[in-house]
Amino acid sequence: MGTQRTQVAIVGAGPSGLLLGHLLHNAGIDNLIIERQSGDYVLGRVRAGVLEQTTVDLLDEAGVGARMHREGLFHDGYDLTFGGARHRIDLHGLTGGKRVMVYGQTEITRDLMDARAAVGRPTVYEATDVAPHDFDRDAPTVTWRKDGAVHEVRCDFIAGCDGFHGVSRTSVPEGGVTTYEKVYPFGWLGLLSDTPPVSHELIYSNHERGFALCSMRSMTRSRYYVQCPLEDKVEDWSDAMFWDELRRRLDPATAATLVTGPSIEKSIAPLRSFVAEPMRFGRMFLAGDAAHIVPPTGAKGLNLAASDVRYLSRALIEFYAQKSSAGIDAYSARCLARIWKAERFSWWFTSLMHKFPETGAIGRKLQQAELDYLVQSRAASTVMAENYVGLPF
């Protein structure tokens, strides 16, 4: 068995693991990232990319924001469509100048990978049988198998950044973690295309046929979604069927200007709300999707992961620089206070915008009344805007 030593072993090379690794590197803290997939596979995952200002600031703090500022798109608002008309939510005006940035998660991952390679920090890709050990003691380890050999790293701390299906959370002994979960009775069918977006800002649509979202990756690449039954298969949806269904769920003026084209990628994503408590187990910490999932309606998933990394990086830096465990002791409680607020907003926004057959005609009428109140009341619009741009730490 090959054994090595590091200060922090990070399980998972998605954006949360990579960002944590780079922030720790900048503070002089040695770290090793272990990832079960290949680098190409990680970069091939298509995910959302609406960033809160706090996430933009954290990427800048890490020194990886240059390309984001060149290519990302700042948005000052977004539109809600219902009853055949569009209504703008003025994020900038309602929140005292705050905004969001559209920049794909794949691009963030690429920037972080390039930054890690530039400083020579190690990442182990295609590691199988990854397992954390002894995190309830003072000398935890992580083992994995690669190229026919078993490897081990001894460390001070383990950061579980390996996603919802990762090994970190499932390594906690039974009874050590409490989970809360809601699975929604529909999914999102997403289509990526090299076409100009139908609007310069996002459009969220509530329609009797179901929810739709018009988003983008750039001014030449669009990302669109329609609500679909969970039992649907991607192969059941031709590109033509998707575009026709999207048009039906938009207001007539927007539908008339929609530019269509062949799909680059098409997939169906289920929706769930999920939280695991606590997020610290001795010397192992969960971060990102390993600890929580939100439905994508509120664009909180990547931002919550960045929030966890912000808390965890500062806690570990405080531990090494000041010999203080205050930050790591408070890590779980601080994260969860923010997570539950984001979970609430994502659940509410999902409930407001989607078709729920079980609620019947009265549910549809109540949605319409709430949407009408929302766009007419500055107070209600402000609450929505404050949550969307990101609550303060």
Note the helical H segments in the chain: 15-26, 39-44, 53-62, 66-71, 91-94, 105-119, 167-170, 239-248, 252-257, 301-322, 326-353, 360-376, 378-389
C-beta of residue 58 within 8 angstroms of C-beta of residue 310: yes
The single residue of 78, 103, 184, 204 carrying the catalytic annotation is: 204
Which is it for strands 284-286 and 280-281: parallel, antiparallel or unpaired? antiparallel
The single residue of 75, 98, 207, 354 carrying the catalytic annotation is: 75
Q: Is 369 helix (H, G, I), strand (E, B) or coil?
A: helix
The single residue of 300, 311, 331, 354 carrying the catalytic annotation is: 300
Active site residue 300: yes
Active site residue 75: yes
Structure tokens at 191: 């289509």
Active site residue 388: yes
Print burial letters for 270-300: b (CB count within 10 Å at least 16), e (below 16): ebebbbbbbbbbebbbbbbbbbbbbbbbbbb
The single residue of 15, 132, 140, 296 carrying the catalytic annotation is: 296
- How far does Cα 316 stand from its chain's mean position? 23
What is each CA distance from 164 to 84, 107, 273, 288, 289, in whole angstroms? 38, 21, 11, 8, 5
Active site residues: 75, 204, 296, 300, 388
